[in-house]
Structure 1
């Protein structure tokens, strides 16, 4: 048995190693392809310098040729050329990591695009030129150890910390572009698009998802189709409400009836057996299962809410109490109006300070978070220990702690990493949020050949151990890396900040 198990593990490990090596090779080849695009960009600049009056035609011709040769859309080729040029001229550390196969094109794309506020702040003189190197180094720390999606969220936080005023200005400009558009996509369908502030869009999807899940779990909130409503239509005598016809020969029509004052009704528990009273009888009303998918439910609820303000009666009143959930973190100084640093829409990115203040004004409860100089949440000031632990965990985790997973914490379960039944303690160092997809894979009922294990390390990273014995680490997301300014560009934790208290950021 042991020999067979060891052989299986060796085969699994060999295939995983081979796949990982190929992924690195692919990344390295894509880095080489990016270098070729950068060289072609330089040649394009030479061609434009020789004939500036034909600049647009030269560019269109180049994009068209590469698009045709690579079977790639021209829009994608435009992005690819832009990224290749930036990578070659401004992001040396990212280029080196990409060439070594440590990051993928997805990581490169997110780092370069989220750097826009930092580059703009440098161009306008808001921050020093070296700020881009700080951004690049910090973003790579995440990119080389996590997914491109998580890299995007962390890169946004970094850009907000390094060039906060520029981020706020960009968001203010973007907010003026909110709009609703509709276009036909055929077969009687249209594409309805809404360009909205990010926190509103996320809240809308969250509420629709909660409502759809409620409908799937509560069929009683759906009004059934009752079909025929007249007694004659369902084979009942209109006077006695008892079955008539061949099924009830020589029966006393009043037998089994309950009499009252000037009225009577049939006792359903005293009716004689009748073949018409069975599961398929029209007298028995069944609420059918909802066959719609989650996407279809969200679309139907979206339509109901927009056209009728509230869900239709068919969806029941249980949905009326469902509200959207987002989590926001804002500095106390920003909340008090002492500065306009961007707040943070947890797990997503920066949020306009006036939006955070508005949301804060609608809340009656507060939790202060004390951050150490590295930006790690270390304490909350609530009074009840259990609630303190929950709030601390929500602030620390932000999303499922399986490597690369982005499921927000309000859709996750709090897990004892070391099983409670086996002596695991209810302590923040033994608790983490896992989503419905990753929580079950460590359940004791799963055979050891497919079961995962999770444990927390001293730095609060969650280490997952696969059935093959491989270890994968998910590090806690930092809330703020550093907050430089023109007059004081040094990050927290430097000699200038040694005697300062940790930053306070209260979420709501």
Structure 2
């Protein structure tokens, strides 16, 4: 029976009104997005004009960063994101003005505009771009973004002067691998490379995965009582096989004479709550609390990404040293960092306190950052925790080569002042801690000890939260 056969006239009229309203809303949204792109493009042009007036040796890069930081801080968005948006908006407005105008008029959506701009990005002649844009807009006005993708690519190829061989040679220079962090202790690994190699990699993983599935099917048919049946899907097998090949395989054809690359091991920094390490029964189970009812907290990768307790314990077992972070039992504020093998105490203290770049909106992990004096050491600034903070290289440079100004207050709180006079407060994130509301589940007489670590009751600093992190570095 047709789904709307029993709908009343009033219900159908309501549906018609909803469709009309949504259509109008989409046009308004496209127009507003085009207006935002126009403003972002103007901001980019302003930064370039300012840089040209001052004849900056960096070609305007610092001016663009400064403007992006001003906008990003006001919108509570990373300045890297704003800079990327400024670049995309400038490309759209300046190179494809007809596409931008069509979006502003509501003829096409922002998604249509992105597809058209991506397809025509390599058209360098202004006349070719204009003719391509005019034809692409007509196609986009009648189809969805997904449907026009292949059509506008073919259309753009008609206007290209360079052959596929020439374009592929340049495109190979953009090959890379990247990581995107996800929820629940997961992450994505992406790779860009020649299509033949990428499809070959995927095909090999698929063949290996299907071979495992076939073996599993044969094992089920044999009904071998002692065999451990594998119920992984083909996608799960591809992922597991990829991890095995990358983490255990030697880089044939790329290694040094000494075989150094094959000896390298993946390096991660993990923060592990002490209760997670103590309760090994979680290695093979799903229990989330100790027998005494204390909740076992997740460990963290780079102080940001949660990982499951079993993985944390396996990583901890291979660690060459320990960092212990002591925190105040009430406020959670960082009090001290010590280590079984002491070295660079202050650096570890600041990494544990800051956990990321301290510029507003930036979340880059501390191991990729610099430590910088708030008050220059050359001008008498002390090398101490209350005069140091963690900054990524981008914002380290911005701090020294732009009108942005920062002051550090008690507890590592930073007060930033933007070039236009806006003020932003950046506080250290709370450390990943375990705070005992009641007596811990062990007694002083049988308090667990790790070599080089004092027991909880022996700490006289008032710290009750213990974060233990294996240090493979």
TM bucket, shorter chain: 0.3 to 0.5
Give TM-score scaled by structure 2 length. 0.42
Question: TM-score of the superposition, structure 1-length normalised?
Answer: 0.40
